[in-house]
Structure 1
Amino acid sequence: MSTSEMISTGALSIMGLILLILLAQYLRLRELWKMALVCRKSANWARIWEMENRELRSALRAEKAHIEQLQRKLVILQELIPAQE
């Protein structure tokens, strides 16, 4: 094997190695990209759930306030009933 053939074979081997490294990097980046997309989707769902939770907590506070108001009215009405007898 001549020197030029050895150099060509070495260069071809190095290019093959570089191609394998690039392929491995591509596969890793593709997995990272998929993870980023899943993370983004999860973050969107988390935002939606947080908004729903805020709305539900607000509705719960309003219901509790309404119940307290009705309980106060009931106490007033119960106080009026014995007075009428």
Structure 2
Amino acid sequence: MNALDAITTGALVLMVAITVVLVLQYIKLRDVWQMLLGCKAACRWARIWEAENKELRSALRAEKAHVEQ
């Protein structure tokens, strides 16, 4: 094995290592992305429930005012 073969083999090993690191980073990023999408959906539902609760409290206050009259 001469020097050129050693350099070529070293470069190939380095490219494989970089590819493995990139694949691992992609997997982590995909998990983070899914978590963010879940948080986005949860925040959306929280806003919907908050609006519904606000509307129900308003209706309850109106009903109480009507009963007091």
Shift of 1:66: 1.0
Q: State, as a whole percentage, how many aligned pairs show the same letter.
A: 57
Superposed CA offset, 1:7-62 (max 9, x none): 00100000000000000110011001101110110011001000000000000100
Q: Report whether the alignment pairs 1:39 with 2:39.
A: yes
Count of residue pairs brought into register by the alignment? 69
Unaligned runs of 5+ in 2: none
Within-5 A mapping of 1:53-68: 53-68=53-68
Compute the TM-score of the two structures, normalised by the length of structure 1: 0.79
Paired residue type of 1:56: L
**Cα separation, 2, equivalents of 1:62 and 1:55:** 11
Compute the TM-score of the two structures, normalised by the length of structure 2: 0.97
Larger Rg: 1
